[in-house]
Amino acid sequence: MRVLKSRDRDTIVQALRAGVVPKVGLRHIQVGRAREIEEMLLDVQRISEGGATIRFVIGDYGSGKTFFMNLVRLIALEKGLVVMFADLAPERRLYATGGQARGLYAEMARNLSTRTRPDGGAMASVVERFAGQTAQDAENRGLPVGIVIRERLESFEELTGGFEFAEVVRRYWEGHETGDDETTTAALRWLRGEYVTRTDARKALGVRGIVDDSSVYDHLKLMSKFVRTAGYKGLLVGLDEMVNLFKLTSSQARNANYEQILRIVNDVFQGSASHIGFIMGGTPEFLMNTRRGLYSYEALQSRLAENRFARDGLVDLSGPVLRLATLTPEEMFVLLSNVRSVMQPEDPLPDEALTAFMAHCSNRIGEAYFRTPRNTVGAFVKLLGMLPQNPGTAWHDLLERVDIDADHESGPGGSSKIGDGPENQPNDDGLTSFKL
């Protein structure tokens, strides 16, 4: 394991303690999921070679969906893809009429990342890379840059919204060349989907169209084509917290969003999209609930149905649905060992402590703790955090104080209610935490 910087160590520990996925250092704690990662590597390769992919990452709350998706995100960046990731929320959906879909696109665009800008905010660098390559090409051919830009973006005009997209990129170059910061800023705002009205966009850039609720997917396809033109290998779009669509009270709103998902699925399966991949994270009920989940939409149910031969221990990872397997006890031990290495690079707890902690969790809440490693890791981080603050306190004494309700009452979507103190109440996404 590489040496961790103190700042990165603190970031990892704080994130794990809070039950969220750290932005850095995933390689220091990642364990298991080897076969799933192999499949995602194949997906990244397909995108790079001009194909399109879609995966629904399904698992209970706390099972590691977000961690897995972030790991795939890092892999895609290393392989030369551009990534756009965002969480769905009540104000961010795939389809809407009140700006929620545009809000989702704007969030993804703000989070747009490349290998050199892995933390987001890379839209300007992508456009500048395209402009720089175009300027070099124009110089080699002895042509004006504007003409070469039009040549390279000519095919965009065949796509929905492509004419405005190409014009905005051209206006960005003009602003860059003339030192007109107002124009370049306006162009980036347009590309990030930040214009709310067409009037404002026309006044700033002279274009009539904007990214709106009805054109989000069209602009994602335009962006995949653009990043390819800029020299990247493709675009990976990640959407987490898809359960927010399941939670929509309006059946009309749910079905409209499921229609958008069906459109994406059809494009991927029929070969109508290229150099683009989608990875969507959700709970089992988001997928399989026949009243409000994806399976409530018959066309999606038929396309996403699991392989009937994949039973009795057999798995099929080639389909669009990727169910996260439960961590084995051995993998859980390695996971806790990795966390121990991060938090205690010197004088770590003995392996005996990890084994005793796992046995304690298993005895108190049963095998469910393997399905939701987030809660187990959170409790372990809190236990380790207590030791340096309380010199002379033995780990086995602390272990007896871990307050875990043995009833382990099942909550919505496979979540669990553990304990009944204020620290054990469900958080915003329906999860609960251990109390130490």
Q: What is the pLDDT of residues 17-76, one digit of tens each?
A: 877 877 777 777 877 778 888 999 999 999 999 999 999 999 888 778 888 999 999 999
pLDDT at 413: 37
Q: In what order do the strands lie in the sheet with 235-240?
A: 82-87, 235-240, 276-282, 52-58, 321-323
pLDDT at 329: 82
Question: Is residue 122 in a domain?
Answer: no
Question: Is residue 430 in a domain?
Answer: yes
pLDDT at 44: 97
- Domain span at 400: 1-32+327-436
Question: Is residue 332 in a domain?
Answer: yes
What's the rounded Cα separation, in Å, for the pair 32 and 86?
A: 25
Burial class of residue 26 (count of CB atoms within 10 Å of its CB; 0-12, 13-18, 19+) = middle
Question: Is residue 228 in a domain?
Answer: no
Question: Is residue 164 in a domain?
Answer: no
Structure tokens at 21: 């996925």
What's the rounded Cα separation, in Å, for the pair 436 and 425?
A: 14
pLDDT at 407: 36
The H or E element that residue 34 is part of is helix 34-48
Q: Which of 95, 93, 71 is nearest to 83 (CA)?
A: 71
Number of domains in the chain: 1
Question: Is residue 146 in a domain?
Answer: no
Question: Is residue 322 in a domain?
Answer: no
What's the rounded Cα separation, in Å, for the pair 109 and 300?
A: 27
- 435: amino acid identity, one letter: K
Residue owning tokens 């935490």:
433
pLDDT at 371: 58
Angle, helices 162-178 vs 145-152, to 10°: value is 160
Residues 80 and 304 sit within 8 Å (Cβ to Cβ): no
What's the rounded Cα separation, in Å, for the pair 289 and 301?
A: 10
Positions in the chain whose pLDDT score sits under 50: 1, 404-436
pLDDT at 23: 72
Question: Is residue 398 in a domain?
Answer: yes
Residues 162 and 156 sit within 8 Å (Cβ to Cβ): yes
Structure tokens at 270: 């029929």
pTM of the model as a whole: 0.82
Q: Which of 110, 100, 51 is nearest to 260 (CA)?
A: 100
What's the rounded Cα separation, in Å, for the pair 335 and 165?
A: 46
Phi, psi of 343 (to 5 degrees): -85, -25
Angle, helices 181-191 vs 123-141, to 10°: value is 120
The H or E element that residue 391 is part of is none
Structure tokens at 119: 């933390």
C-alpha 379: how far from chain center: 25
| Residue-wise DSSP of 3-55 | PPPHHHHHHHHHHHHHTS--SS-GGGT--S-HHHHHHHHHHHHHHHTT-EEEE
pLDDT at 264: 97
pLDDT at 375: 78
What's the rounded Cα separation, in Å, for the pair 105 and 342?
A: 35
The H or E element that residue 343 is part of is helix 329-343
pLDDT at 3: 66
Residues 134 and 145 sit within 8 Å (Cβ to Cβ): yes
